[in-house]
């Protein structure tokens, strides 16, 4: 029990610190944007490159692991779409927001520090593999739902090449690719650059958690929450359950299964809010979903870690 306490309490305490500083007026939304920018463009890519460049890569790509997680993710995504159409009576254009809210995990801000704290280096590779593909797979599906499936008849189709280019130049995807290439071609990192990467990368977990706390402080829960609670149920209960079943079907090893299930149990990621705000679709529902799913994770994460670490 002490081991779980040592993992969970520091992580949520740092996020709570960011939340408290924001509520006190010491930090603002721009603080969160600055921390998130540093984390996304500098700290996390440095850690990903450093880890993958020196990690012991699997002899074959773990397709079963990927299918177990993202097969479940897409099932939950389309459950969210169907739910929003049948129960919420949302128009086509809005249904993609329900999909991403139900299936997109907060891997960077919360999952990343939790997995590293709980599993150490053993959890790094399975974490980074899932992290590399989440935006690559879920973003195009969401964009297609909004811009193609839900577009007006006279609207212009988005450029596939532009969308693909943006994905390939994503700092997380780019650092993962470069780190993997450095590993495959045995390109060593000399001590000084390695120390620089380690120092920058070490800041990533704390920056992520403080940024999460500050970001959550900007949201409020007001009015009807029934739609958000339905999406939270998909995200916090159905998603990890399906991932666990998928890992069993594909015979995924113990630690990798635990990392996958823990990441599936993460709350809805901030990118769902960014999508909602960018397209001005159901911003209030997504905001409540993020806050409520984060509160639910305070209960579910310790339970899962108790099962896994004991």
With cut-offs at 50, 70 and 90, classify the pLDDT of residue 121. confident
Give residue for tokens 């004991």.
310
Q: What is the pLDDT of residues 24-50, one digit of tens each?
A: 999 988 887 888 788 778 887 888 788
Q: What is the pLDDT of residues 226-278, one digit of tens each?
A: 999 999 999 999 999 999 999 999 999 999 999 999 999 999 987 787 788 77
Q: To which H or E segment does residue 24 belong? A: none
Q: What is the pLDDT of residues 187-224, one digit of tens each?
A: 888 999 999 999 998 887 788 788 878 877 877 777 77
% pLDDT > 90, the chain: 38
Q: Is the pLDDT of residue 98 over 90?
A: yes
Mean pLDDT lowest among 70-74, 164-168, 183-187, 237-241 = 164-168
Residue 258 near residue 94, CB atoms below 8 Å? no
Question: What's the CATH code of the domain at 67?
Answer: 1.20.1530.20
The pLDDT of residue 140 is: 79
3-state secondary structure (DSSP) of residue 105: strand
- The DSSP code sequence of 57-81 is --SS--HHHHHHHHHHHHHHHHHHH
The pLDDT of residue 226 is: 92
Residues facing 268 on adjacent strands: 105
Q: Give the phi and the psi of residue 89 in degrees, each rounded to 5.
A: 60, 40
- The whole-model pTM stands at 0.78
Nearest to 56 by CA among 131, 115, 128: 128
CB within 8 A of 175, min separation 6: which ones? 44, 45, 46, 48, 49, 52
Residues facing 105 on adjacent strands: 268
Q: Determine the Cα–Cα distance for residues 174 and 132; give it in Å rounded to an integer.
A: 9
Mean pLDDT over residues 297-306, rounded?
91
Domain interval for residue 158: 2-309
3-state secondary structure (DSSP) of residue 5: helix
Q: Determine the Cα–Cα distance for residues 48 and 149; give it in Å rounded to an integer.
A: 35
- The DSSP code sequence of 162-216 is HHHHHHHT-HHHHHHHHHHHHHHTT----HHHHHHHHHHHHTHHHHHHHHHHHHH
**Total structural domains within the chain:** 1
- The DSSP code sequence of 39-62 is IIIIIHHHHHHHHHHHS---SS--
Give residue for tokens 């930090």.
27
Q: Determine the Cα–Cα distance for residues 284 and 225; give it in Å rounded to an integer.
A: 9
- The packing angle between helices 270-279 and 92-103, to 10°, is 170
């Amino acid at each position: 029990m002490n081991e779980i306490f040592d993992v969970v309490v520091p992580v949520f305490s740092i996020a709570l610190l960011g939340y408290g500083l924001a509520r006190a007026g010491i930090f603002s939304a721009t603080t969160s944007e600055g921390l998130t920018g540093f984390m996304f463009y500098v700290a996390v890519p440095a850690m990903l490159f450093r880890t993958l460049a020196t990690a012991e890569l699997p002899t074959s790509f773990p397709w079963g692991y990927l299918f177990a997680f993202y097969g479940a993710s897409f099932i939950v995504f389309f459950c969210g779409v169907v739910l929003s159409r049948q129960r919420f009576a949302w128009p086509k254009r809005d249904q993609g927001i329900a999909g991403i809210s139900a299936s997109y995990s907060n891997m960077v801000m919360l999952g990343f520090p939790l997995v590293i704290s709980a599993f150490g280096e053993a959890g790094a590779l399975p974490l980074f593999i899932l992290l590399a593909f989440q935006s690559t797979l879920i973003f195009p599906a969401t964009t297609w739902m909004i811009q193609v499936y839900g577009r007006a008849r006279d609207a212009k189709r988005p450029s596939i090449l532009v969308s693909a280019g943006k994905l390939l130049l994503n700092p997380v995807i780019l650092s993962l690719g470069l780190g993997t290439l450095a590993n495959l071609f045995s390109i060593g990192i000399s001590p000084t650059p390695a120390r620089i990467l380690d120092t920058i990368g070490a800041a990533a977990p704390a920056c992520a958690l403080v940024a999460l706390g500050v970001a959550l402080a900007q949201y409020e829960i007001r009015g009807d929450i029934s739609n958000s609670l339905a999406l939270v149920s998909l995200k916090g209960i159905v998603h990890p359950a399906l991932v666990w079943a998928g890992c069993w079907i594909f015979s995924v090893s113990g630690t990798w299964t635990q990392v996958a299930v823990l990441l599936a149990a993460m709350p809805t990621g901030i990118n769902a809010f960014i999508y909602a705000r960018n397209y001005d679709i159901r911003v209030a529902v997504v905001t409540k979903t993020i806050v409520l799913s984060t509160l639910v994770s305070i209960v579910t994460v310790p339970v899962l870690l108790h099962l896994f670490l004991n």
